Structure 1
Amino acid sequence: MSSVSGNRFLIEPTAIAGVYTVTRRKLADERGFLSRLFEPEELALAGWRGPIAQINETGTARAGTVRGLHYQTPPHAEMKLVSCVAGSIHDVAVDLRKLSPTYLRSAAVELSAENGRALLIPEGCAHGFQALTDDVRMIYLHTAPYAAAYEGGIDALDPALRLHWPLPVINRSPRDEALPRIASGFEGLTP
């Protein structure tokens, strides 16, 4: 798919099949602005399927913090629409779909309150980010609710993924530090 420009969003493909940047169009005047976070008809052009099953907000206090790489497996696999509404992040999706032409490739996009971008991540891709500023806030829209028994993850510092984190990495959770590396027998996902 090439870029699609709708009334509310500019939707652009990334290096990973099915992962798109979604730039919100701001309607602004001297009072401020309005920006739509979700429009199912326009997002369907990029593959969004199903209703929103869960909306989460996260806060990250310190620049350099890395969270992820997380995903859920079937029958609770999910699409995500990730937006940064305060501060700035280096957002990353990694294709874990074993039959995908972009298997194990990544796409990284800066999301910020200023640029109004979101990242649409399909089922079968892992997600993580690094805070580029202090006091980051993010909104996640999910097509499936969180299911602990179906969560998975890959080590964000796995050299096999060749990810570039712009800042020195700090504040990884013990859970994220214990995530496996691709080299430890990972065979890919079948969404």
Structure 2
Amino acid sequence: MNDQLERAKALFMEYCGSLPDMHRGGRYAEYKTYGVDIATEKLWCKEMVEQLSGELSIRDWEAVSSLSSVSKHYQDSRIVENVISFAARNMMSADSVVRLMFAEHLLDIIRLHKKEISQELLLRACKSAAELLEAIIAQPLIVDPGHELAQLKLKDKRGLNQRAKQDMESIEEILN
């Protein structure tokens, strides 16, 4: 890969494939000079999805947040599959804050992919989000060091539960 294409790819990855965000950041003009075609951008999106899926963690929500950003411009059922697969295997050992953020980003991803995915995958994804939210409500508040309720503009367990209940209602809206 030549230097110009590498630079274009770096910009593309930095902005999660979002050309409008690139424009807002003042980098779109530079990106445009590299003349990247749509097929290459789609390939980079696939690479980004695989990379971010591998970075999913129970310690933070950065990777799922980035996958949500990618989903705004690139729909691929593998994003939904990878996120719910990770959630099923790992999220019950995460703290309450990470669970809530993960569930909320999963709901964003579901909304963005709703028309692109099968009904069966939609139901599995909604069930996965619901399980995370139900666990938040049913279990005691657990907050790991570095994660604060104030980050989410919440004061206590009651506020966390209320937000989780609102998210449960949004699952019903998605399914209707």
Answer yes or no: same fold by TM over 0.5: no
TM-score (normalised: structure 2): 0.27
Instruction: Name the structure where helix makes up a greater proportion of residues.
Output: 2
TM-score (normalised: structure 1): 0.25
